[in-house]
Amino acid sequence: MLVPEERSDRTFLDYHRAHRDAAARQDEDSPQFQIPDAGHPYPRHSLPALEAGVWVRDTHPDRFADFDLAIFEAFFGRTEDIGDLDVLRRLADRCGLDGTALAEVIREARCRGRVLAEYREALALGIRGVPAVTIPGRTPIVGAVPYRDLKRAVEDALRGSGRT
């Protein structure tokens, strides 16, 4: 979820734990999430990570998948603050990117307009959470769903099924 403003008062709530518990129980193919106690610090905002993702996608498309996964694992696997420039710089460096250049792009808000435009586009498509999968002509699939459900939706789309 995009939280555009930086807030220092964000902590994990039982609400967040419930979502991670549900995702962890989906099936054996689900990623392993760290499920912190309520009150554990929660990332202040996701805008820096989204800006970093746009920059990597544009400038180093061959490294985008690795960087995207690194951010996912940092947040969901280790509950790191993906709004923190030091965290993003470290992740970029690990992925063979220039973490200092990435931090400068974020500080200067070079990709912010594109991130906000993509966010508005997602809202217009009915996407209100992550992860989200869009299949042309169908309602977006939002949230952690079992792999078998995603597979079935894609297979139905490829067969031309009218189900939404």
Q: Confirm whether 64 is domain-assigned.
A: yes
Phi first, then psi, for residue 132 (nearest 5°) are -140, 140
Shared domain for 20 and 35, answered yes or no, is: yes
Residues 114 and 149 in one domain: no
Please indicate, yes or no, if residue 28 is contained in any of the structural domains: yes
Is residue 2 scored above 60 in pLDDT? no
Position with higher pLDDT, 4 vs 126: 126
Whole-number average pLDDT of the chain: 81
Check whether 38 has a pLDDT greater than 80. Answer: no
Domain count, the chain: 2
58 CB-side CA count, 13 A: 12
Q: Are residues 35 and 61 in the same domain?
A: yes
Q: Are residues 99 and 44 in the same domain?
A: yes
Percent of the chain predicted with pLDDT > 90: 37
Give the chain's length.
164
Q: What is the pLDDT of residues 69-82, one digit of tens each?
A: 999 889 877 888 89
The enclosing H or E element of 71 equals helix 61-72
* Domain contains 2: no
What's the rounded mean pLDDT across residues 6-33? 60
Torsion of CA 102, 10, 38, 80, to 10 degrees: 10
Q: What is the pLDDT of residues 130-146, one digit of tens each?
A: 778 888 878 888 877 78
Residue 9 belongs to some domain of the structure: no
- Domain assignment of residue 86, given as a range: 14-124
